[in-house]
Amino acid sequence: MNYRTLGRTGIRVSEVGLGSEAFVNHDDAFAQELFDAALQAGINYFDLYNPEPYIRDSFGKAMEGRREQFVIQAHLCSAWIDGQYKRTRDMEAVREAYDDLFRRLRITYADVGMIHYVDEQTDFDTVFGGEVLAYARELKAEGKIRHIGMSTHNPCVAIQAVKSGEIDVIMLSVNPAYDILPSNEDVNTLFEKETYEMPDVLSCIDPERLELYSLCESEGVALTVMKPYGGGALLDAGESPFGVAMTPAQCLHYCLTRPAVASVLAGAHTKEELLEAAAYSELPDEEKDFATLLGSTPAHRFTDKCMYCGHCAPCTVGIDISAVNKFADLCEAQGMVPETVREHYQVLKVKAGDCVKCGACEKRCPFGVKIVEHMERAKVLFGA
Ligand code: SF4
Ligand code: SF4
């Protein structure tokens, strides 16, 4: 397992984490088994929302006596009301649900208090202008949560959250399909086939997504990822907008090569699926590679947009082309060169300006990136 730093929180987290989907309709023994398997595989990052009470109890029993081995993002504003899991902004319900979550999980603090599911602008205004954020701050001051996070499917809302300076971690839905769609307040559009049939929709990464990645990187806000497989659609050629089936490892690799991403919450439903996801870190590069697949499908028309896949390597003079392109894209998305990105660029041993324009890399790029021009662009941006 590889570990990454969770942005400015400084916490080290496993690049593959575990979500809570698997536990529905299972008992304490199952939770114990899955948590044991996760820890054994090196997973330390766990996303715990507020599912049925018995599941929260199972989590608590499975963590008993070893709390320090878990980095937990625990959701605020998700509650179990009238026998159903619901998002709520009713403060009485929010407080009650969070107290109950802590009681059942048998924990005294969460590493990240994740404000749950903020997709609409009006909801963002309510949450950030009112009692929800005030409550999160209160929990932080009391030491019950170490950092404030927010989960969303909407990059526009996420950008505002980053700019607020209040949020250290954003849980975002990321995968190659969602990355090409414009921001939307309605998460359901991400799942609809018609969305991907609009003209030119497959031709580029959404600029708001790029801006979000860039902002997170420069502000030290970590991204944790949900829906890496697009709800399973990307694993099925018939369902995927690209017309090909990706493997779980390819999906994870796509997410983990996006800027600012610290951990991907694998959508494991069984111990086998969990172990398959955890094994990602040990796989050879060929098995993680998503570029050959996506670059060759007729349904995919990304052109001249670097996907940071590394296929163009090795460069004749040793330039890390993928890193150079990523840094240049981050600057372009913000219309400036953030100091953090400049620093990262300066650390590169070989700079874009060293390119001898041999063109060897361009022949290997599955996405038709005009790399020589991109190196020129980076040289101008960074002055080297
Ligand atoms: S230039 Fe092409 S091959 Fe190289 S990292 Fe970007 S997309 Fe991949
Ligand atoms: S064209 Fe430039 S970046 Fe590409 S392999 Fe040659 S020297 Fe490296």
In tens, the pLDDT along 112-171 reads: 999 998 988 999 999 999 899 999 999 999 999 999 999 998 888 999 999 999 999 999
Domain match, 8 and 96 both: yes
Domain match, 250 and 376 both: no
Q: What is the DSSP string of 153-186?
A: S-HHHHHHHHHHT--SEEEEE-STTGGGSPP-S-
Higher-confidence residue of 197 and 69: namely 69
Domain match, 116 and 198 both: yes
Is 305 domain-assigned? no
Give how many domains the chain has, as a whole number: 2
Is 351 domain-assigned? yes
Is 9 domain-assigned? yes
Is 225 domain-assigned? yes
- Over range 1-29, report the average pLDDT: 90
In tens, the pLDDT along 307-350 reads: 777 788 899 999 999 889 888 887 876 778 887 788 889 889 99
Average pLDDT, rounded, for the chain: 86
Domain match, 232 and 364 both: no
Pocket test for ligand 1, best of 303, 325, 370 (most atoms within 8 A of CB): 325
Domain match, 238 and 378 both: no
Residue ending a domain, among 241, 272, 291, is 291
User: Does the bond joining 314 to the residue before it have cis omega, within 30 degrees of 0?
Assistant: yes
Is 314 domain-assigned? no
Q: Which two tokens stand for residue 373?
A: 């021009």
Domain match, 48 and 162 both: yes
Specify whether the CB–CB gap between 173 and 190 falls below 8 A. yes
Distance CA 166, CA 136 (A): 10
Q: Which residues line ligand 2 (CB under 6 A)?
A: 315-317, 319, 321, 355-361, 371-372, 375
Domain match, 50 and 113 both: yes
Cα angle: 72, vertex 73, 77; to 5 degrees = 135
102 confidence band (pLDDT: 50, 70, 90): very high
Domain match, 274 and 366 both: no
- Over range 233-244, report the average pLDDT: 81
Is 304 domain-assigned? no
Is 185 domain-assigned? yes
In tens, the pLDDT along 180-228 reads: 765 555 556 655 556 555 555 444 567 788 888 888 988 999 999 988 8
Domain match, 68 and 182 both: yes
- The boundaries of the domain holding residue 209 are 3-291
Higher-confidence residue of 177 and 263: namely 263
Domain match, 355 and 282 both: no
pLDDT for 39 equals: 96
- For atom 7 of ligand 1, the residue with the nearest CA is 306
CA of 296 to the centre of ligand 1 (A): 13
Most confident of 77-81, 153-157, 350-354: 350-354
- For atom 6 of ligand 1, the residue with the nearest CA is 306
Backbone φ, ψ for residue 3 (5° rounding): -120, 145
Higher-confidence residue of 271 and 5: namely 5
Distance CA 69, CA 325 (A): 36
Question: Which of the residue ranges 8-12, 27-31, 208-212, 376-380 would you say has the lowest mean pLDDT?
Answer: 208-212
The tally of CA atoms less than 13 A away on the side-chain side of residue 53 is 9
Specify whether the CB–CB gap between 155 and 124 falls below 8 A. no
CATH assignment of the domain containing 143: 3.20.20.100
Chain centroid to Cα 294, Å, comes to: 20
Beta strands in the chain (DSSP E): 3-5, 12-14, 16-18, 45-48, 71-76, 78-81, 84-87, 110-115, 145-152, 169-173, 222-226, 261-266
Is 302 domain-assigned? no
Q: Number of helices (H) and strands (E) in the chain: give both, helices first.
A: 15, 12
Query: Does the structure show a pLDDT above 70 at 88?
Result: yes
- For atom 7 of ligand 2, the residue with the nearest CA is 355
Specify whether the CB–CB gap between 73 and 46 falls below 8 A. yes
User: Which of 256, 342, 244, 251 has the alpha carbon at shortest distance from 293?
Assistant: 244
Domain match, 25 and 66 both: yes
Domain match, 221 and 342 both: no
pLDDT for 223 equals: 96
Distance CA 357, CA 368 (A): 16
Residues 6+ apart with CB under 8 A from 98: 74, 76, 113, 139
Query: Does the structure show a pLDDT above 70 at 303?
Result: no
pLDDT for 187 equals: 55
